Homo-oligomer: A and B are copies of this chain.
Amino acid sequence: MKTEPTTAVLKQIGVVHSPYSEKKDAPFQGRHEMKEATIELFEAYEPGLLDIESCTHLHVLYWQDKGDRTILQTKTPWGPDIHGVFCTRSPNRPNLIGMCVVDFLERNGRFLKVRGLDALDGSSLIDIKPYSPAIDSFPDARIGWCKEGK
């Protein structure tokens, strides 16, 4: 059976306010610089935040609109070698979804203060998911091509 590729439309549900205004300012990973950022959810989606205060960590999904959708192999900050984008966290990839685990610090209405987000200021928010250690935490995982394995 031949499968025809399809497309889907993402809706922006909010905006990231971060200390990183340009690509050169942003850390390779937000985790390596523990700066604070604010996630603003648009009013229409605020009911979706019910009970989010009870989460210590969140997955933040955003749109990396400065990325290049045509790149399939790339260098990384971790060495001189070329790798496929699907084994790197490069913003350049067929679908420009950025994903980052953040510490959740504080909620003020539809504004969430977080720490560890690597998104550029003004990035479009597309989803928030709770971080569940039961299904998301694998401390023994390894990325073999990376010298430190992680």
Binding site for B on A (CB under 8 A): 3, 5-13, 15, 29-32, 41-42, 45, 47-57, 59, 61, 63, 65, 69, 72-73, 81-89, 93-97, 99-101, 124, 126-146, 148, 150
The number of times this chain is found in the oligomer is 2
- A106 to chain B minimum Cβ distance, whole angstroms, is 14
In the complex, chain B residues whose CB is within 8 Å of the CB of A96 = 8
Q: Which residues of B contact A134 (CB under 8 A)?
A: 29, 31, 148, 150
Q: Say whether A127 contacts B94, CB under 8 Å.
A: yes
Residue on B with the closest CB to A101?
A: B136
Assess the B126–A133 pair: CB atoms within 8 A. no
Q: Which residues of B contact A5 (CB under 8 A)?
A: 11-13, 42
Q: Would B31 and A93 count as touching, CB distance under 8 A?
A: no
